[in-house]
Structure 1
Amino acid sequence: MSPRRFTLCADDFAQSPAISQGILDLLQAGRLSATSVMTQSPHWPALAAPLSALQQQADIGLHFNLTHDFANGPQLLKPLSHWLLLSQLRCLPYQALLDSLLRQIDLFSQHLGRLPDFIDGHQHVHALPVVREALFAAIALRWTDSNKPYLRAPDHLGHPGDSRLKAVVLQTVCRGFAQAASQHGLVCNRWFAGLYALTPEAGFATLMQQWLQHGEEGALLMCHPGLPADDASDPIAAARAVEYGYLGSAAFAEACRTAGVELGKFSH
């Protein structure tokens, strides 16, 4: 039986040097096959070159941000609760969202020299109502040929992780995203996982083994690894270190073999 091909994507590249170096290490070791970039980060210009050297073996995308404060200029920035509530009421500022998307896409292209392979969102904001309409418009403006980016569809969540409540909330607020993307001629993952409490006690290794076992061919998994760091500004720093350690381990390689999974770029 041929192995199932999964795309394992590390979110939050460029958020900090420790996160970024951890992702680079895992990409170089073949333990990741994609990463998404927070292009508003002041670290992004310097990090583009080492990431560019790995683009033949991994997808590189945009991690669209509306909630993380980089404190380095004008940003459309509000807490996640703001976006969740007002998106369901369809009361978000469409033009401001479109402008922010275009700026973040352009920062990607400015430093990497090309457009993103895919787009996802920090805390999944890209898939919320109104934000998604701005996203589709931004893609139409920046991608002038048929080689469009693929999109992460959180509403195709296939495993609840360690919280069915969190899973239900995510699927509810993002409902209809994949169908809307398809109507715009855009491709999404058919199966998605990686959702969990993002604490070091959550049992990331066990959850990853479950995702590898249950995932469908072409699955997209997200993760959040980083080098160990004493970073008070990052509430999930301890979980990042756990993820980094496991993904770089022989145990993870064995889990992939046991599940019949090989990591690769997203195929569409």
Structure 2
Amino acid sequence: MTAGRVILCADDYALSPGVSRGIAELIEAGRLSATGAMTTEPGWLDLAEAVATLRRHAAIGLHLNLTTGAPLGAMPRTLPSGKFDGIGAMMRQTRNGSADAEEIAAEIERQLDRFEDVAGAPPDFVDGHHHVHILPVIRPALLAALARRYPDTLPLVRDPGDNPIRILARRRSLVKALGVAFLARGLAADARRLGLPTNDGFSGFSRFDRAVPFAREMADFLRAPGPRQMVMCHPGYPDEILRPLDPLFERRGEELETLKAFPADRIVHLERDGGGRIRWPS
């Protein structure tokens, strides 16, 4: 990958109309490399035309959701309430054995099916809302599903871990970044055993502190990049309906405006081969 350039990936596409619109504008302006879609959100079903356009300019992946809102199908043993209870609850369940492996695997399949129903193609990559894809029970189920379903396309699996030396060089949100790196240890090796590619280097952890401008955080995210660095972000137009529900409500607009002015030559612009597959940088 060209030195100084990163794969810039926006999370939460389809979370709301404003978030989707902001991400689409950035992709069309050449200010994003990729975005991950939440197929559990009702708005995803209305985005087929938009996704077809965005796929010409960026990688479109599945932002696997097992923490927010409700699943696409019943999970009575794992979720008796019928709703996700957040990342903390899912972490406990995958550790104590109360997350049912069959139910998790079935929900992963449903979200992949829903992605294909709208996008008309397999996901270019897969990651997790709140990085849920790195957890026990979920990780093996996801990797097995991707290898079985897509042997000819092999989606990239986003590795949110990074070398501790690189993380420390970025100075901010160290506890969060190091904690996720600990939980993600071994993910790249697990994916490689199944032929699935991953990024090499990851940043974008924010404290979402309004006292720290996003532009300053973005400068830190770019420090000490790995050879295939992926940077996550959360831009969008804040929708009033999300105000009581979205902890990033105020921050999304600031990220959007900052990224509109971000130098396009610092971003990896991904292309597709003749078969429609994304060419990930080596």
**Shorter-chain TM-score above 0.5:** yes
1:190 matched to 2:200: yes
Q: Which amino acid aligns with 1:267?
A: P
Say if 1:184 and 1:165 are closer, same or farther in 2 by CA, change over 3 A.
same
Q: Whole-Å Cα distance in 2 between the matches of residues 163 and 5 of structure 1?
A: 22
The answer (yes or no) to whether the contact 1:98–1:137 under 8 Å persists in 2 is no
CA contact 2:73–2:107 (8 Å) conserved in 1: no
Q: Within 5 A, what are the aligned runs for 1:107-256?
A: 107-145=114-152, 147-156=153-162, 158-159=166-167, 162-230=172-240, 231-249=243-261, 252-253=262-263
- Residue 100 of structure 1 is matched in structure 2 by 107
| TM-aligned CA deviation for residue 238 of structure 1 | 0.6
Moved over 6 A (4+): none
Partners of 1:123 and 1:111 lie apart in 2 by 23
Q: Distance in 2 between matches of 1:53 and 1:97?
A: 31
Q: Structure 1: which 5+ runs fail to align?
A: none
Change (3 A) 1:225 1:161: farther
How far apart are the structure 1 equivalents of 2:227 and 2:14? 29
**What is the Cα deviation at residue 116 of structure 1?**
0.2
C-alpha distance 225-148 of structure 1, shift in aligned 2 (>3 A): same
Note closer, same or farther for the CA distance 1:198–1:135 as it changes in structure 2 (3 Å cut): same
Name the TM-score, length of structure 1 as normaliser.
0.89
Q: In the alignment, is the contact (CA less than 8 A) between 1:5 and 1:217 conserved in 2?
A: no
Give the CA RMSD over aligned residues: 2.1
- Following superposition, the deviation at residue 42 of structure 1 comes to 0.5
Distance 1:132 1:264 in 2: 28
Residue 71 of structure 1 deviates from its aligned partner by 8.1
Partner of 2:222, secondary structure, is: helix
Q: Any unmatched runs of 5+ in structure 2?
A: 271-279
Q: Identity of counterpart residues, as a percentage? A: 36
Residues in 2 aligned to 1:172 and 1:85: alpha-carbon distance in whole angstroms: 16
Give the Cα–Cα distance (whole angstroms) in 2 for the partners of residues 91 and 55 of structure 1: 38
Q: Give the length in aligned residue pairs.
A: 259
1:210-263 CA deviation, whole Å, 9 max, x = no partner? 2224323421110000113332211111111110010012xx22xx66xxx333
Q: 1:6 to 1:47 in 2, by over 3 A?
A: same
What are the residue-to-residue correspondences of 1:256-267 with 2, within 5 Å?
261-265=266-270, 266-267=280-281
- 1:91: Cα distance to partner? 5.0
Distance in 1 of aligned mates of 2:92 and 2:234: 25
Deviations 1:143-177 (A, max 9, x none): 142x2000111122643562221122212222221
Q: CA deviation at 1:28?
A: 0.8
1:16-165, aligned counterparts within 5 Å? 16-70=16-70, 74=74, 77-89=84-96, 92-145=99-152, 147-156=153-162, 158-159=166-167, 162-165=172-175
Are the counterparts in 2 of residues 36 and 63 from structure 1 also a CA contact under 8 Å? yes
Structure 1 pair 140/267, CA: closer, same or farther in 2 (3 Å)?
A: same
- Which whole-Å deviations, capped at 9, do the CAs of 1:61-107 have from their partners, x for residues lacking one? 00000011058764662321122223344553111111011000000
SS in structure 2 of the partner of residue 155 of structure 1:
coil
